[in-house]
Structures are given as C-alpha cells and as structure tokens.
Structure 1
Amino acid sequence: MNNLFKLLQKPLTTIVSVPQQLPRRSYASLPKRFYKKTSVLYNDGKYEVTLDSRKLKTPNGALFTVKSEPLAIAVATEFDAQKERIERSKMHLSALCFTAIDNPNRHTKTDMVNYLLNYIATDTVLFQYDDEKDLHDLQCNEWDPIIKWFNERYGTNLEKTMVMSPPNIGADDKMKVSKYLLSHSEDVLFGFIFAVDTLKSVVLAFATIDQRISVDKAVALARLEEEYQVKFWGRVEWSHDLSQQELQARLAAAVLFVHLNRSEHFVKEKLVV
C-alpha cells in the first residue's frame, strides 16, 4: 500500500470529474498557495483537513469530510506538497474526494454501476487481433491470464473478440459484476470508475484494486499496443514517459481511494461502558 502513496480516457464525459493537466505556460495563472501548513482534525465521527486556520471545502462549497483518517492525511499531504502555486491537475486524491462529496451530476449508485457494466464491452484487453502475429502473441501472453483470473474471481465468462465487433457480454455476467459493485458504497464506486477510465479496462482495474497486479504492471498492460508500436516508430521519451507517469499517478490514487474508503479503514470511537 505504501507504494501507492509514492506513485501518487473515455473522454471528459466520464462520471468522475477530474482536472486536466494544464500546459506549462499556464502555471502563472494557477492560484497561489495561501497557507503555510496543513493538518487533520477529527470532528463528529469524521475527519477534516485544515489549511492554516481554514477548513478545506469542496468546489461546491461543502465542508470536506471523510470517514477514513489515512485518506484525510493523504489529501492533506497533497495540499502540503504544493509549492508557490496550487496545481490541482496533479491532486488526484483530492479531486476524487471532492467529486464524491459534491457529486455534481447527481449520479446514483445505479448510474455508476451501469456505467461500469457498459464499459466491459469496450474493455481494452477484450479486443485482440491476429493479423499481426507478434502483437497477437504478446496480447495472448500478457492479457489472457488476466482475463482468466477475472473470470475465476468473479464467476464470469468474458471472452475476447478477434474482430471489430464488441464482445458479447451475457446478462448473467453483468448480474455477477453488478452484485459485486453494489456491495460497495457510492464513494468507493467513484474510485472504481476513475481506475477504469484511466486504464480503459474493467478487467485491469479490478485486477489492480484486488492487488492481483501492481499499478506499474496494470499501466504497462493498458499501454501494451502503444509500446509495441513504439518499437517500430521510435519513442519520444519525454512524451511517453510523462504519459506513463501520469497514468500511474491517476491509477495509484484510484486504488488508494477505494481501499481507504472501505469500512475496514475507518477509525471508530471506542465505546466507554
């Protein structure tokens, strides 16, 4: 779990609203850091973050509160890591918390589960091609074991497609995945969606959240075809490296958000008898 702190697109119509990376020339237009220190407070069963004497609020003006102390500490750390300017595009955990609290589009749990279920038919690892043998062999070796694991773990029967048509996702498969997702809170589902959007894959996102594969491995698998093509067309180091690091940071934040929002990470007050 500590590694996730260190690592810390279906398009912008995604359910999770996250600030996009701003070009370097816009740095001067970012808000200046107005606080010297951050801290975490416990109040009425929840945790708050303060910037000096001010309590942190969401973009919609709601008081920032979470049930998990480690999550509050992580958000405070993101704010503390800002230098002269506040670069919100790099504060993925804070953005996820803000979205979960504000829920600006008023999405219900059913909306979020349906979003994830519909995504399965477009899952990156389920689309494979046999017109290029080396690439197909790579997909089989790297992606097929994860698909097999997913089917065993969730009792599904997902099958890859070798054509442009999307794979057929049966009603029984959707029901099983839906039942699993509905067992989580709305907050946790925001994290699942952020992970899926980052990797463009439900299978890889679930495998990472279940700690079957690491964040680095998941990003490498999501970029499999791109990295294969790089061998022929060359690598623009700064561009490819930045893209990879950004995906790792986003995914690490999503996985951490999910785990820290699960009930076993909540700190409960001891009852005095």
Structure 2
Amino acid sequence: MLKNVLGNFQSIVQTCLKYGQKPNLQYSVRRYAASKRFYKNTGILHSEGRFEVTLDQRKLKTPKGNLFYVESEPLALAVAAEWDKQVTNIVPSTMHLTGLCSTVLDNPNKLTKDDIVNKIMKYLETDTILYISGEEDDLYDVQLREWKPILDWFCQKFNVEIESSNNFDGPKISSEAKEILMKHLMSYNIWAIHGFLFAIEALKSVILGLTCAERHISVEKAVLLSRLEEEYQGKRWGRIEWAHEMNQQDTQARVAAGILFVYLNSSLTMVKKKAKAV
C-alpha cells in the first residue's frame, strides 16, 4: 500500500528505511530505546481528520506521552513501515521519520518556526559548496566542476546573488538573497521546516538541501556533492572502507528522511484529508 500511495517518492522512502542508522534525534527516540518488539502488526488509523499509527491495537505515543499523529496518510504509512521493519529489538536509531514527527509534536526546546528558519539560515554562511579549495590543485578543479553548476542553477532558480570563495574573505551573499531564501522557507509549515533542518544539518549545506528538495538533484547526488573533499582525500590517501560506507549510508538516510518529510508535509497531492467524507 505504501508503494502505491507514494509513487515517485518510493526511491527516497527505500533509502530512508534501508540505511537509517544514526539520526541526531536523541530526545525523540529516547523513550523507545532498547526494548524487545512487543507487537505483531503495524497499521494506521484515520481519526478526526488526521492519521495515527497503531502497534497491534495500541496507539503510538510520543516521548512525552502525547498521542502520535500526522495529517499526511503517506507519512503515517511510512512511520508504520519504520516500526514494521523492527525485527527482534526496537532500534530507535533506524526510525528517522518517527523521531522527526515526535520532535514536532512534543517541541521539547519550545522552538518557533522563526527559530528554526534562523537556525537553517546560519548554515548558509558556512555552506559546504561555497568554500572552494584555496589552492588551484586537483581538488579545486573537482569542486569547481561539480559545485559551480549547482550554485549557478540555484541562483537562477531563486533569483539570488551568491558567490563562492576560495580565500579567507568568505562567500559573498547579498542581503536580498538572504531575505528571499528566508521568505521561501517561511512559506512552508513548521513540519516541513523540521525536515529541511534535518536534511541541511546532514549535508551542511542550505544550497544542496533546497536544490534536492526542488528535485534538481537526487539524495544520493546531494550527499556525494557534500562529501567531495572527503571523497577526494580518501582516494588520494586511502580510507577505511566499512567506516566510509557506513557514514555515507547514514547521511543518505538522514537526507532522504528530511526531504521526504518536506514532501509529505507540504504537497497537497500527498496529504490526504478525509474530513468531508466522515
């Protein structure tokens, strides 16, 4: 059923569920930590215009004990799928969507949408793809070749002026660009904003996060672009393959979860409300 409802987003869901390992959501998953699977079946329930997740006949609760609910049926199905993938033990670190939902519902740090958008915008000043190698070497060539087309597309898409830097002066970001990007982010609801923050924190790049959300690049491509220097140094000096692969998969899972969270909380075609049918 999840596959039929999500359609074109299925590849992102698969990445999210397959590689979920170490989300930075310590608060949200703490309540579910290290316990045996106590349920046989997972499901969703439509109630009062929103969707709840069930474990057998029990309704899922947040870490604070609040009722766990979402307004998007596909998101509810994806959360249920996270719980269904738990085999013998419940491993909270594999459930990024559950953690994101719980963070929004409980809001443990009492953050407003303005707070979260301001936090996102701080990443723009240190955006990964705005800092090119200071020496015109092979790394410089790779970064320029891979990052410049993304930055050019981004500036054209959002009609902003941003220039990367290869010196200590830092990138040039116009005040108008900051205002435009803030307005763009503020147009989303607080649920979607949490998704943006989660993906952008993983990528360390506002530009890659928004470009991925606009579907100009895939999650896998966004992660690869965010790790260009690491990939370059690894090929040059060697690396521990299992650690490298684990880190890459973890980042892909977090970015996929964040972007999917944006989609499922902002697209009218994906949010299914049945209030009129009740």
Relative to the length of structure 2, the TM-score reads: 0.89
Q: 1:121 is matched with which residue?
A: 125
Describe how 1:16-27 pairs up with structure 2 within 5 A: 18-19=25-26
The match for 2:212 among 204, 208, 219 is: 208
Q: 2:98 is matched with which residue?
A: 94
Q: 1:7 is matched with which residue?
A: 15
Q: 1:269 is matched with which residue?
A: 274
Report whether the alignment pairs 1:189 with 2:202: no
The match for 2:81 among 73, 77, 80 is: 77
The match for 1:228 among 226, 232, 238 is: 232
Change beyond 3 A, Cα 1:40–1:78: same
Whole-Å separation in 2 of the counterparts to 1:167 and 1:87: 41
Match for 2:157: what amino acid?
R
Secondary structure at 1:50's aligned position in 2?
strand
Q: 2:251 is matched with which residue?
A: 247
Whole-Å separation in 1 of the counterparts to 2:81 and 2:212: 23
Whole-Å separation in 2 of the counterparts to 1:259 and 1:247: 18
The match for 1:139 among 123, 139, 143 is: 143
Secondary structure at 1:266's aligned position in 2?
coil
Q: CA deviation at 1:127?
A: 0.5
Whole-Å separation in 1 of the counterparts to 2:136 and 2:36: 51
Q: CA deviation at 1:270?
A: 6.8
Whole-Å separation in 2 of the counterparts to 1:101 and 1:144: 39
Q: 1:41 is matched with which residue?
A: 45
Whole-Å separation in 1 of the counterparts to 2:267 and 2:140: 41
Whole-Å separation in 1 of the counterparts to 2:65 and 2:154: 40
Q: CA deviation at 1:170?
A: 2.2
Q: Is the 8 A contact 2:223 2:248 kept in 1?
A: yes
Percent identity between the two aligned chains = 46
Q: Gaps spanning 5+ residues in structure 2: where?
A: 1-8, 17-22, 28-32
Q: Is the 8 A contact 1:17 1:99 kept in 2?
A: no
Whole-Å separation in 2 of the counterparts to 1:158 and 1:226: 24
Match for 1:177: what amino acid?
L
Q: 1:68 is matched with which residue?
A: 72
Tell me the number of residue pairs that the alignment of Structure 1 and Structure 2 aligns: 257
Whole-Å separation in 1 of the counterparts to 2:159 and 2:113: 22
Secondary structure at 1:143's aligned position in 2?
helix
Q: Is the 8 A contact 1:127 1:160 kept in 2?
A: yes
Whole-Å separation in 1 of the counterparts to 2:211 and 2:146: 13
Q: Is the 8 A contact 2:127 2:207 kept in 1?
A: yes
The match for 2:181 among 177, 198, 210 is: 177
Q: CA deviation at 1:102?
A: 1.0
Q: Gaps spanning 5+ residues in structure 1: where?
A: 9-15, 21-28
Q: Is the 8 A contact 1:121 1:168 kept in 2?
A: no
The match for 1:109 among 113, 122, 126 is: 113
Q: Deviation above 3 Å: which 4+ runs of structure 1?
A: none
Give CA-to-partner distance per residue, 1:129-181, whole Å, 9 cap, x none: 24141111100110011111111111111111111343242221111001111
Q: CA deviation at 1:231?
A: 1.3
Whole-Å separation in 2 of the counterparts to 1:198 and 1:6: 18
Query: Aligned Cα RMSD in Å?
Result: 1.6
Secondary structure at 2:53's aligned position in 1?
strand
